[in-house]
Amino acid sequence: MKGVLLLLSSVSILLPGVGSCPKKCLCHRPSNSVDCSGQGLSKIPADLPPWTLTLLLQDNQIHWLPALAFRSVPLLSTLNLSNNSLSNLASEAFYGLRHLEVLNLTQNSLLSLETSLAHALPGLRQLDLSSNSLNLLPTSLGKPWENLTVFAVQRNSLQHLERTLLEAMPKVRLVLLKNNPWKCDCHLVGLKLWLERFTFAGGVTDNAICRLPEPWKGRDLLAIPHELYQPCPLPSPHLAPSLGQQPGSALQEVHKPSENNSGQQDSLECETKPKTKPANLRHAVATVVITGVVCGIVCLMMLAAAIYGCTYAAITAQYHGRLLASTRESEKMGSKESMDRSAAREPPCQSPP
């Protein structure tokens, strides 16, 4: 009897959690969606139904996501957190959401992106980080993000983006980079080369417009020939601590650079210095090659015409020579025959009596 009562009490405790809906939220069981948008929430509701597939939390005041913030909705496939006050994410905030496919984090105040995001969300297909304050993205994710097809970082504060980060997204087909203060120096050559290959393979991207340095301001990154980028300078050897220095002083110099070294550090930044070459070096090289080919063809035609003319002149001269020789021979033969005829007509000489 006690066992039956315990079972009934357990069921009575679990049933409200299964069928209940958080306050200020609208739950739609046929579509497995929960709409908590625009309710002034400052944290994730704790009593979300476990059957939730779509969770709408946009237009609230959520500023922090703790670890395992969505452990009560493990089947979640679409999550909208746009237009909140998120400035930081715990490294394990999205752990447990292995079925999540769409994540919208637009219009927040995020400064960086955790590398653990790819590990926590292996099934993610669309990631929208537009309209944040991102100034740094990871150089690598550590493992391929196999299912990601859409990656958007529009309207942020990014100056550089490592090629290795995008190479970790082998199935991506849409990359949105517009409205960032891109610094088109040697550090962005990798991104340019990746975008060229990406668009050639049929991928879609918007215009990454350069803001720095001045020569490329307002220019599309893909429109600048990569030949005009100079290689990044190597660090100056005198900045490295010598073996004779004490460890403490070396650490102080590394972690606390003096004002005198500020100019040296600034010199390490790769600034683009355009070479004194045509604006479009590829077109110039193509023009030179085409001109050389045309000149070569013309020269060959002139040489063939000269050979033909000389041959024709030689044949003509030989023909005229033979004709002249035959004419002279005929004239000689004619004169000889006339002489013989005249001699035959004259009477023989008679001797005197």
Q: How far apart are CA 183 and CA 270, in angstroms?
A: 10
Determine the pLDDT at residue 315: 85
- The residue ranking higher by pLDDT, 337 or 78, is 78
Apex 99 CA angle, 168 and 42, nearest 5: 100
| Alpha-carbon gap, residue 186 to 230, rounded angstroms | 6
Which pLDDT belongs to residue 267? Answer: 41
Distance in angstroms (rounded) separating the CA atoms of residues 287 and 281:
10
**Whether residue 99 sits in one domain with residue 30:** yes
- Determine, yes or no, domain membership for 311: yes
Look at phi and psi of residue 155 and say left if phi exceeds 0, alpha if psi is from -120 to 50, else beta.
left
Written as one letter, the residue type at 112 is: S
Domain co-membership, 26 together with 147: yes
Q: What's the pLDDT at 264?
A: 44
Residue 39 has pLDDT above 80, yes or no: yes
Q: Is residue 350 part of a domain?
A: no
Provide the pLDDT for residue 7. 41
Domain-located, residue 74: yes
Shared domain for 91 and 159, answered yes or no, is: yes
H or E, element range at 127:
strand 126-128
CB 159 within 8 A of CB 212: yes
pLDDT in the model for residue 258: 41
Residues 179, 314 share a domain: no
- The per-residue pLDDT for 50 is 95
- Measured distance CA(350)–CA(353) in Å, rounded: 9
Percent of the chain with pLDDT over 70: 72
**Across 46-60, average pLDDT:** 95
Judge if 148 and 91 occupy the same domain: yes
Note the pLDDT of residue 88: 80
Is residue 263 assigned to a domain?
Answer: yes
pLDDT band at 237 (very low <50, low <70, confident <90, very high): low
pLDDT value at residue 114? 83
270, 311: one domain: no
Cα–Cα distances (Å) from 305 to 310, 314, 316, in that order, read 9, 14, 16
278-327 residue pLDDT tens: 445 556 667 777 888 888 898 888 888 888 888 888 888 777 777 777 76
Closest CA to 166 of 180, 149, 179, 181: 149
Give the pLDDT of residue 318: 78
Kindly state whether residues 164 and 306 are assigned to the same domain.
Answer: no
Flag whether 45 is in a domain: yes
Assigned token pair, 193: 């080369």
For residue 3, is it within any domain? Answer: no
Lowest mean pLDDT among 59-63, 151-155, 295-299, 334-338: 334-338
Q: What is the mean pLDDT of the chain?
A: 79
Q: Do 290 and 157 sit in the same domain of this protein?
A: no
The answer to whether residue 55 sits within a structural domain is yes
Closest CA to 98 of 160, 147, 135, 56: 147
**For range 28-49, the mean pLDDT:** 94
Residues 39 and 86 in one domain: yes
Are 273 and 294 within one domain?
Answer: no
Q: Answer with the residue of higher pLDDT: 291 or 190.
A: 190
Residue 244, Cα to own-chain centre: how many angstroms? 45
Over range 78-105, report the average pLDDT: 93
Residue 132 dihedral angles phi and psi, to the nearest 5°: -120, -160
- Residue 119 sits in a domain whose CATH number is 3.80.10.10
Instruction: Express each pLDDT in 12-35 by its tens digit.
Output: 334 444 558 998 899 999 999 999
The total of structural domains in the chain comes to 2
Instruction: Name residue, tokens 């500023």.
Output: 63
Residue 200: pLDDT band by 50, 70, 90 thresholds? very high
Tell me, rounded to whole angstroms, the distance of Cα 46 from its chain centroid. 42
Token readout for 223 is: 């429109």
pTM score, whole prediction: 0.63
Give the angle subtended at the CA of 24 by the CAs of 21 and 27, to the nearest 5°: 35
How far, CA to CA in Å, does 159 sit from each of 134, 167, 234, 306? 10, 18, 20, 63
Confidence at residue 125, expressed as pLDDT on a 0 to 100 scale: 97
Specify whether 228 is located in the same domain as 290. no
Co-location of 275 and 287 in the same domain = no
Which residue segment(s) compose the domain that 89 sits in? 20-236+247-280
| Listed residue (45, 53, 47) closest to 19, CA to CA | 47
